[in-house]
Chains A and B, each alone.
Chain A
Amino acid sequence: MKKVYGSAAEALDGLLFDGMLIAAGGFGLCGIPELLIAAIRDAGTKDLTVASNNAGVDDFGLGVLLQTRQVKKMMSSYVGENKEFMRQYLGGELELEFNPQGTLAERMRAGGSGIPGFYTKTGVGTQIAEGKEVKVFDGEEYILERGIFADLSIVKAWKADETGNLVFRKTARNFNPPAAMCGKTCVVEVEEIVPTGSLDPDHIHLPGVYVHRLIQGEHEKRIEQRTVRTREDA
Chain B
Amino acid sequence: MPSDIKGWDRNRMAARAAQELEDGMYVNLGIGIPTLVANYVGDKDITLQSENGMLGMGPFPFEGDEDPDLINAGKQTITELKRTAYFDSAMSFGMIRGGKIAAAILGAMEVSETGDLANWMIPGKLVKGMGGAMDLVAGVQKVVVVMDHQNKAGESKLLKACTLPLTGKAVVNRIITNLGVLDVVDGGLRIVECADGVTEQEIRDATEATIVA
Q: Which residues of A contact B (CB under 8 A)?
A: 27-31, 53, 76-81, 86, 98, 100-106, 108-109, 120-128, 158, 168-178, 205, 221-231, 234
Contact = CB atoms under 8 A, between A and B. Distances in A.
Interface footprint category on B: 35 or more
A105 B89 contact: yes
Interface of B: 50-54, 59-63, 65-78, 80, 86-90, 92-94, 96-97, 116, 126-135, 138-139, 165-170
A22 to B, nearest CB: 17
Given A122-B135, A171-B54, A171-B69, A177 B90 contact: yes
A128 B134 CA distance: 9
B85 to A, nearest CB: 11
Contact of B70 (A106, A109, A125, A171): A171
Instruction: Determine chain B's interface SS by DSSP, over half rule.
Output: loop
A31 B53 CA distance: 12
Contacts of A223: 66, 68, 71, 77
Contacts of B59: 229
Contacts of A177: 88, 90
Given A178-B89, A234-B62, A98 B53 contact: no
Nearest to B136: A102
Given A103-B93, A121-B97, A125-B169, 4 more contacts: A53-B89, A120-B138, A170-B54, A174-B52
Contacts of B61: 227-229
Question: What is the interface of chain A mostly: helix, strand, loop, or mixed?
Answer: loop
A227 B71 CA distance: 10
Contacts, number: 177
A123 B126 CA distance: 20
B121 to A, nearest CB: 8
A221 B89 contact: no
B53 A78 contact: no
B132 A172 contact: no
Contacts of B76: 225, 227
Give me the 5 closest cross-chain CB pairs, A-B, nearest first.
Answer: A102-B93, A125-B169, A80-B128, A102-B135, A78-B129
Given A125-B169, A171-B71, A86 B126 contact: yes
A53 B75 CA distance: 13
12 contacts: A27-B89, A29-B75, A76-B129, A86-B126, A100-B132, A102-B96, A105-B90, A158-B69, A171-B72, A173-B88, A176-B88, A234-B62
Given A120-B97, A171-B53, A102 B92 contact: yes
B168 A125 contact: yes
Contacts of A27: 52-53, 71, 73, 75, 89
B53 A101 contact: no
B74 to A, nearest CB: 7
Contact of A31 (B66, B69, B74, B130): B69
